[in-house]
Amino acid sequence: MATIADASPVNVFYEEDGGFKVGTVLADNNTSLQVEAAHGKRSKVKANAVLLRFPTAGLLEFLDNANAIAEGIDPDFIWEVAPQNEFDFSELGREYFGHEPTAEEAAGLLLRLHGAPMYFYKKGKGKYRAAPPDSLKAALASAERKRQQALAQAAYVESLKAFRLPDAMRPLVEDLLYAPDRNTIEYKALETAAVETGTTLVRLLDACGAIPSSRDYHLRRFLREHFADGTGFPETAPSVVPDDLPQADVEAFSIDDITTTEIDDALSVVPLAGGGWRVGIHIAAPALGIAPDSDVDAIAARRLSTVYMPGDKITMLPPAVIERFTLLEGGARPAVSLYAILDPELNVLGCETRVERVRVVANLRNDVLDTQFTDEAIA
């Protein structure tokens, strides 16, 4: 503990709860002191927590002066002149000030040492050790990064509050919307700006023009969740169309919307000689050309189905496979056929299934049929 010569020890500068306080001694019980703070609060202080005793009457003035002295001390300089080994603050005080420091000077130096943990490691009561050069360099670099990040975050907040999306945040919009890292400055800025503008994160990004449309917002969420690697397909070996299937003795046709590109079902109707009909339902059979455990088999197992949405779709199979097996007009394609034999009253007399090639003669479209099958035309 440092003391000041020729002074009555009526006031103390002591450490408590990680900080420094001053008080007037009311009673000294050797191992503990009863002190009174400047605002009148009395407390019991352990004697070994006392760092300085001084006679100055004005406690608040003492602290103000000590803090002013601390502010004037360059931590880089005292780190340069500090001993390499563990030292007491009073020792460094004599070296730094060039004389036995006053109580205010000693307290100011102690405040500076304590307030520069990157430069000095606390080793005990009033004792410190200078940080190694490499450790100090790394700590200062980290502090500078944090300072720059704080400046950037503040700038982001102001820009977002003005409903302008910062350029640095544009590549991060999807992450911020669907899988935010709450430790990033971009998320913190967005969260702060949303609170200060009284809105939600999503509505704020929308106001900044980051969300083209409600459809886009929901579609991107869906794609991120179910198609994280994208909706495209890897290169695969071409599917082989079986060439040993029997040829069906029917001419089939399909009926679909104008936007349909995957023709996966068709119909055929054949009148029977004795009356009645044979109606065929023909389903495209790409599985006939997909080898077990092949790349295409793995793709189909992952996707399980084509995803349909208004005006768009995400196919289950690669385009090359679809082209080989879709029931396009003018070709004979593999299909699983269900034939139903109907009597003239359309009662089902029997059914059979076949795996075969079916010739498709027409891909009919609803928009064309709607103009032809009118009430007048079929009256």
Its pTM stands at 0.63
pLDDT over 80 at 9, yes or no: no
What pLDDT shows up at residue 379? 65
Residues 139 and 124 in one domain: no
Cα gap 284→334, rounded to integer Å: 6
Label each residue of the chain as H, E or C. CCCCCCCCCCEEEEEECCEEEEEEEEEECCCEEEEECCCCCEEEEEHHHEEEEECCCCHHHHHHHHHHHHHCCCHHHHHHHCCCCCEEHHHHHHHHHCCCCCHHHHHHHHHHHHCCCCCEEEEECCEEEECCHHHHHHHHHHHHHHHHHHHHHHHHHHHHHCCCCCHHHHHHHHHHHHCCCCCCHHHHHHHHHHHHHCCCHHHHHHHCCCCCCHHHHHHHHHHHHHCCCCCCCCCCCCCCCCCCCCEEEEEEEEEECCCCCCCCEEEEEEECCCCCEEEEEEEECHHHHCCCCCHHHHHHHHHCCCEEECCEEECCCCHHHHHHHCCCCCEEEEEEEEEEEECCCCCEEEEEEEEEEEEEEEEEEHHHHHHHCCCCCCC
| Phi and psi at residue 81, to the nearest 5° | -95, -10
Q: In this structure, are residues 142 and 131 in contact, taking their beta carbons and an 8 Å threshold?
A: no
pLDDT digits (tens, 9 = 90+) for 163-189: 999 999 999 999 999 999 999 999 999
378 inside domain: no
pLDDT over 60 at 7, yes or no: no
Residues 254 and 366 in one domain: yes
Q: What's the Cα-to-Cα distance from 177 to each of 187, 218, 245, 309, rounded to whole Å?
A: 10, 11, 52, 22
What pLDDT shows up at residue 188? 96
| Domain interval for residue 333 | 247-372
Which CATH number do you get for residue 55? 2.30.30.360
What pLDDT shows up at residue 236? 83
* The two structure tokens encoding residue 123: 């080793």
Residues 215 and 295 in one domain: no
Average pLDDT over residues 219-227: 91
∠ CA 370-371-376 to the nearest 5 degrees? 100
316 inside domain: yes
Q: In this structure, are residues 252 and 358 in contact, taking their beta carbons and an 8 Å threshold?
A: yes
Terminal CA-to-CA distance of the chain, rounded, Å?
114
352 inside domain: yes
267 inside domain: yes
Residues 36 and 56 in one domain: yes
What pLDDT shows up at residue 2? 41
Average pLDDT over residues 84-111: 92
pLDDT digits (tens, 9 = 90+) for 340-372: 999 999 999 999 999 999 999 999 998 888 888
Cα gap 80→92, rounded to integer Å: 11
pLDDT digits (tens, 9 = 90+) for 116-163: 999 999 998 899 999 999 999 999 999 999 999 999 999 999 999 999
217 inside domain: yes
pLDDT over 60 at 3, yes or no: no
| Phi and psi at residue 45, to the nearest 5° | -125, 135
User: Which residue has tokens 């205010």?
Assistant: 104
Residues 210 and 263 in one domain: no
Residue 375 banded pLDDT, cuts 50, 70, 90: confident
Residue partners of 99: CB distance under 8 A and separation at least 6: none
C-alpha torsion sign, points 247, 248, 251, 255: negative
pLDDT over 90 at 74, yes or no: yes
Residues 273 and 345 in one domain: yes
17 inside domain: yes
Q: In this structure, are residues 75 and 82 in contact, taking their beta carbons and an 8 Å threshold?
A: no
235 inside domain: no
What pLDDT shows up at residue 280? 97
Cα gap 30→103, rounded to integer Å: 21
What pLDDT shows up at residue 8? 55
pLDDT over 50 at 6, yes or no: no
Residues 293 and 309 in one domain: yes
Quote the radius of gyration of the chain (alpha carbons, Å).
42
Residues 264 and 362 in one domain: yes
Residues 125 and 139 in one domain: no
Cα gap 113→192, rounded to integer Å: 34
Last residue of a domain, one of 94, 115, 130: 130
Residues 281 and 313 in one domain: yes
User: Which residue has tokens 């997909």?
Assistant: 290
Average pLDDT over residues 86-102: 92
Residue 5 banded pLDDT, cuts 50, 70, 90: very low
What pLDDT shows up at residue 57? 67
Q: In this structure, are residues 139 and 118 in contact, taking their beta carbons and an 8 Å threshold?
A: yes
Last residue of a domain, one of 166, 196, 226: 226
pLDDT digits (tens, 9 = 90+) for 29-67: 888 989 888 888 898 989 889 999 988 768 889 999 999
Last residue of a domain, one of 66, 96, 130: 130
* The two structure tokens encoding residue 316: 């289950």
Which residues are bridge partners to 44 per DSSP? Answer: 34
Structural domain count, the chain: 3
Residues 121 and 25 in one domain: yes
pLDDT digits (tens, 9 = 90+) for 282-329: 999 998 988 888 889 999 999 999 898 888 889 999 988 888 889 999
Residues 35 and 95 in one domain: yes
231 inside domain: no
The amino acid at 162: A
What pLDDT shows up at residue 30? 84
